Structure 1
């Protein structure tokens, strides 16, 4: 049984209760607990675009990203029972990985789009799923032992407020594992189509996290060994921007093209993972940071 207490969705309601397969709310059961989120421009269709283009989570970068997150959670939390929230759970690939690697964890999935969560709820009936806006989070303080955000903050206009809510929702000594796209100078059609507000520098990301009251434990880049090829591809994209009407197809083809490199990509990322235990890379395609809430 998940021990998180969720606030009422509407004024005058009692707090919803997770039953193990749904939320009991006002005498009815709902699979997804949906709070108001406003409009960010992100949609279920954009989630589908990325999922279909990356072959349902098997892209070598996405798999390396999830592996890094799981390893950081295992290092930071050990084998103790822990309450973990993934913000931006999308199709649930990381939730599935965490369920296997962290069998004592109580998992919760959160996302901005309702359709994505409804579809995921049918595949994972035993995990609470919550629709909410991280930058204006209604969820209670001091609730989670860990929160994971993989490629989420770049989609949030007020990322400072979002990270402040992360710090608020973490328990004292709780851990945040955060990943974002790196390289502000590489912003291109891909970023525009996927509604990115920004790409980050590693020091810039760390500053936002530290200003929220979290202490940086580890920081590095992901995709360092493939960064030269990535850099050239991004610069070519910047030099040949596509009209808005052609952008979606162009981005889908670009993501799909890199998926065809999976066999080589997996080997390169395995080598990089070993190197990252001793090296902080100077560049990469994504920034990865693990931070802890000061007890």
Structure 2
């Protein structure tokens, strides 16, 4: 990720609609798939960035993180998080079958994903779960992806194949960030054209009322995702079991 993007994320992700809505989705699915009231669950968050998702993950167990950026770890420490270590997801320095849950939120697109999935499979206990979010659809590639140093975007079927090859069994597969797909698609397509394409993340600062409205739409979507799967969205969501 470009250096300046860490600061932008740190400044915006507490309240920005995309990040807030995504946390609602993460929390809703963790509530559905993790054992009730089991605070001893060992959770490993990969590519944890500035650590904002620890706000949600800490409700479900004992959370540790891995990131390959010292900047990311410094921002985590600003949030009071001291359980993140410097490391490479493709070569995790974690004992075999030692973790109950792995979360990989918008990280696989940065990596040799098949190597990373095998590494995740190795560290998970038998019966453990991996929760994955990743950007959807290669046709939406834009300067946003380049600024974040993405290597690819995904389809659900592609991620399913890669998880299966790594040994996982699929529990849930869906697109998400679906309610807001149309405006995001139009914006991304516009910014990917000709001279309008720039290597910068597509944070568009909205009026507070509109930001709040988008958050509430994604909160509704989060509830629906616990009961059904969407066939289109800006991100893909997969939950798989070892």
Same fold, judged at TM 0.5 (above): yes
The superposition leaves residues 119-140 of structure 1 with CA deviations (integer Å, 9 ceiling, x where unpaired) of: 4235325x42211111122322
Please report how far the alpha carbon of residue 235 of structure 1 lies from its aligned counterpart in structure 2 after TM superposition. 1.3
Question: Which string of whole-angstrom CA distances, capped at 9 and with x for unpartnered residues, describes residues 162-193 of structure 1?
Answer: 11101111111111000001111111111111
Q: CA deviation at 1:242?
A: 4.4
- SS of the aligned residue for 2:85 comes to strand
Q: Which residue of 2 aligns with 1:69?
A: 26
Match status 1:148 vs 2:148: no
Shift of 1:230: 1.3
1:68-147 equivalence runs, <5 A = 68-78=25-35, 79-80=37-38, 81-99=40-58, 101-102=59-60, 105-124=61-80, 127-147=82-102
Aligned-partner SS, 1:149: strand
Match of 1:5 in 2: none
Q: Verify the 8 A CA contact 1:95 1:107 in the aligned structure 2.
A: yes
For the residues of structure 1 that align with 2:206 and 2:125, how far apart are their CA atoms?
Answer: 39
Unpaired segments of 5 or more residues in structure 2? none
Q: Which residue does the alignment assign to 2:10?
A: 51
- Aligned: 1:169 with 2:169: no
Q: Give 2:140's aligned residue.
A: 186
- Kept in 2, the 8 Å contact 1:117–1:131? The answer is yes
Q: Return the alpha-carbon distance in structure 1 between the equivalents of residues 95 and 206 of structure 2.
A: 40
How far apart, in 2, do the equivalents of 1:64 and 1:267 lie? 8
CA-based RMSD of the aligned residues comes to 2.0
Q: Contact 1:65/1:222 (CA < 8 Å) preserved in 2?
A: no
Paired with 1:133 and 1:43, the residues of 2 have a C-alpha distance of: 17
Shift of 1:258: 5.2
Q: Would the aligned equivalents of 1:134 and 1:165 in 2 still touch at CA under 8 Å?
A: yes
**In 2, Cα distance between the equivalents of 1:56 and 1:227?**
19
Higher relative contact order structure (alpha carbons within 8 Å, sequence separation ≥ 6): 2
8 Å Cα contact 1:72/1:290 also seen in 2:
no
**How many residues matched?**
239
- SS at 1:255 equivalent: coil
Q: When the two structures are superposed, what TM-score results if normalisation uses the length of structure 2?
A: 0.90
1:180-207: CA deviation from partner (whole Å, max 9, x where unpaired) = 0111111111111111101100111111
Give a deviation string over 1:225-267, Cα, whole Å, max 9, x none.
1111111111111223447xx633xx3xx31335853111012
> Which deviates more, 213-222 or 57-66?
57-66
The answer to whether the aligner puts 1:256 opposite 2:204 as a matched pair is yes
Correspondent of 2:173 among 212, 219, 243? 219
Structure 1 CA distance, aligned partners of 2:19 and 2:159? Answer: 20
Q: Is the 8 A contact 1:85 1:110 kept in 2?
A: yes
> 1:238 and 1:217, CA in 2 relative to 1: closer, same or farther beyond 3 A?
same
3-state SS in 2 of match to 1:93:
coil
2:53 aligned counterpart, secondary structure: helix
1:196 aligns with 2:150: yes
Of structures 1 and 2, the larger Rg is shown by: 1
> CA offset at residue 223 of structure 1?
1.1
Q: Contact 1:88–1:112 at 8 Å: present in 2 too?
A: yes
The alpha carbon displacement at 1:44 in A equals 4.3
Query: Quick one: distance in 1 between partners of 2:115 and 2:192?
Result: 30
Instruction: Check conservation: 1:44, 1:113, Cα contact below 8 A.
Output: no
Indicate the residue corresponding to 1:247 in structure 2. 199
